[in-house]
Chains A and B, each alone.
Chain A
Amino acid sequence: QQQVKQSPQSLIVQKGGISIINCAYENTAFDYFPWYQQFPGKGPALLIAIRPDVSEKKEGRFTISFNKSAKQFSLHIMDSQPGDSATYFCAASKYTGNQFYFGTGTSLTVIP
C-alpha cells in the first residue's frame, strides 16, 4: 500500500507562473511532511518542511499548504523560474522517526 500519493507526475509551467504539486497521505501518525528537490545527476535535497500544527509555511517563493482533515498537503512555487526545473518529492514521517515514505515524484519543467 502506497503511504503517500503524489500528483501530477509531470508539470510544465511558463516562467513567472505558479507550479502546484499535491500529495495525500494515509497514516494519521505522520506528523512531519518534507519536500525534496532533485536535479539530474544529484540526490534529493530538502527544500521545505511542515508540521501539522500550522496550515501554511512559506520560504521565499516556496509555500507548503497543509490540510490535516483531508490528509493532504501541497507545494506551491510562485514566480516559477527555469532554474526550478527539477523533480520534486513529497514525503511523510513521524517527527522523531527516521523512516520516510516518499511520493512518486513530479517532474517540473519551467519554460522560459
Chain B
Amino acid sequence: GQQVMQIPQYQHVQEGEDFTTYCNSSTTLSNIQWYKQRPGGHPVFLIQLVKSGEVKKQKRLTFQFGEAKKNSSLHITATQTTDVGTYFCAGPGSGGSNYKLTFGKGTLLTVNP
C-alpha cells in the first residue's frame, strides 16, 4: 500500500535555529497535508498542498510540495519554544482514496530555550 516516509524521527534544536522535516512517497501524491501535535494533545491540521512545486507560508513555517509530487518539506525559521511538538505529513490512502489518509510516523521537535 501507499506509504509516506518521514525524516528525521527526532530533532532537537536551540531556540532560534531553523528546523526542517521531510516527507517522501514512492508514488505520486494527489495532495499532501501537514499536521502538528503538541505533547499530550491531538493532531491539528496545518495546511494542504495540491499543486506540483507549490510553496505556502504561514508566518515562520514554509511548506513545499515537490515538482514530481512525491516529496514535501516543512521548514521552520528561527524556532521558538511554542514550536515544540510532533509534525506529521499525510497523503491520500491506498488507491488514492479521498476518504482516508496515510500518516507518516512524524518528526518530534524539541526546542532548548
- Is B one of A's binding partners? no
Interface residues, chain B, with chain A CB atoms under 8 Å away: none
